[in-house]
A and B are shown apart, each in its own frame.
Chain A
Amino acid sequence: AQSVAQPEDQVNVAEGNPLTVKCTYSVSGNPYLFWYVQYPNRGLQFLLKYITGDNLVKGSYGFEAEFNKSQTSFHLKKPSALVSDSALYFCAVRDIGGSYIPTFGRGTSLIVHP
């Protein structure tokens, strides 16, 4: 079985400050992990993914995520937040060797204040 948790419904950060959006997962084996972003009234857009190898993954728009196997986490980060980063962020997990249907978290609303 696979599951993912995003413990924060909302994250508030000031523009220019670093941001972190948290994600933890549970899988039977090893995970494939994904981050997506959804801007208002839009579909989800792929940001980045972890498959294997380097634990720090870089993606679109200056975002990166760190895979931590011991803590079963895959937190999304950005060194300096922009107001335009305000959106809904979804983490997703898929168990390697399992179904290729991913499980999504409930989403975290990121609000960047000017």
Chain B
Amino acid sequence: DVKVTQSSRYLVKRTGEKVFLECVQDMDHENMFWYRQDPGLGLRLIYFSYDVKMKEKGDIPEGYSVSREKKERFSLILESASTNQTSMYLCASSSRAGSTAVEQYFGPGTRLTVT
């Protein structure tokens, strides 16, 4: 069974802390994504990686960075957490094989609260 896991379901951090969100997939997918989900705004893409050590900025990369040292793992880093980064963070992966018609597989999400 396909699986995307995220390191924490709930996380509470203080303003200014450095925060690491980890995502692991077991499907040998090339593509991995980080989104944030806020009520009324849907899913917004933060960063995208199409291969190990490769990354591209999404729609809202400010205040975030990412790391992909291994194919199965994609980390999202909040360099200095701020209250406006309180949100639900979703990781996803997809195969790059063949066409672009493949669907994404999502992790359960991490609800981050920054106080």
Residues of B participating in the A interface, judged by any CB pair closer than 8 Å: 4, 9, 31, 33, 40-43, 45, 48, 58, 90, 92, 94, 96, 99-101, 103-109, 111
Contact = CB atoms under 8 A, between A and B. Distances in A.
Interface residues of A, number: 23
Contact of A43 (B31, B103, B106): B106
Prevailing SS type, chain A contact patch: loop
Interface of A: 9, 32, 34, 36, 41-46, 49, 51, 90, 94, 96, 98, 100-102, 104-107
Contact of B101 (A45, A49, A98, A101): A49
Contacts, number: 54
A43 B90 contact: yes
Given A104-B43, A106-B41, A107-B42, A44 B106 contact: yes
B43 A42 contact: no
B45 A44 contact: no
Nearest to A42: B108
Contact of A51 (B41, B96, B101): B101
